[in-house]
Amino acid sequence: MFRPRFLSAALFIAIAVLIAAALNRQPEQMVVGAARAIDGDSLVVEGREMRLAGIDAPEARQLCHLAGQSIPCGRQATQALQRWLSRGPVACTGHENDPYGRLLVICRVNGADINADLVRNGFAVDFGRYPTEEKEARAAYRGLWGGTFEVPAEYRQRMRAEARAKETERSQP
């Protein structure tokens, strides 16, 4: 049976950990203005490069397959994001950076969540924040889900491995 002192100590430690985590969190940042797409999940707002949080879109040069044909799904994802950004000023909020120093953001135009819409319409996959939207896109065979594709993270990993192999090959006498 637990003793009251133990429970009090455990409660104190738990509260201290929660307070430390809350104090360690970066403040929410908001960037508002005209924007342009870099690729399907990266954009520039007011000169600042950002990455859409919770999603992963095909790389700009990535191809997917639909009915036996290669389609430029990376370019289509970039165009889908650009269509959103052309609708008016974008408001992006976030509090953490990715490994490349880009602010991870959720962006809205006229109140609509761009990140969610890109996943819902199959231009990006869920990366931890939009599972319901991905499920909806899969069920309706929208975008990427209408054919076959390599998961963007796996595509990037394969491209890096191929580049390393070519570099090794070139450095061999």
DSSP 102: P
User: Is 134 in contact with 161 (CB distance < 8 Å)?
Assistant: no
pLDDT of residue 170: 83
pLDDT < 70 stretches in the chain: 1-26
Q: Using the 8-state DSSP alphabet, how is residue 9 labeled?
A: H
35 within domain boundaries? yes
The phi and psi torsions of 145 (rounded to 5 degrees) equal: -75, -5
Q: What is the extent of the structural domain holding 88?
A: 27-165
Longest dimension (CA), the chain: 72
CA distance 29 to 41: 18
- Measured between alpha carbons, how far is residue 75 from residues 47, 57, 72, 110 in Å? 22, 10, 5, 24
- The enclosing H or E element of 120 equals helix 114-120
Q: 84 lies in a domain?
A: yes
* pLDDT for residue 169: 83
CA dist 99 and 114 (Å) reads 22
In DSSP terms, 90 is beta-bridged to 33, 109
What is the DSSP-derived secondary structure letter of residue 95? E
**pLDDT (0 to 100) of residue 112:** 97
- Nearest Cα neighbor of 110 from 92, 83, 87 is 87
Q: What is the pLDDT of residue 15?
A: 63
Domain assignment present for residue 20? The answer is no
Q: Is residue 88 part of a domain?
A: yes
In a domain, 75, yes or no: yes
Give the number of domains in the chain: 1
Q: Is residue 18 part of a domain?
A: no
CATH of the domain at 135: 2.40.50.90
pLDDT tens digit sequence for 103-123: 999 999 999 999 999 999 999
In a domain, 33, yes or no: yes
Residue 4 lies in a domain: no
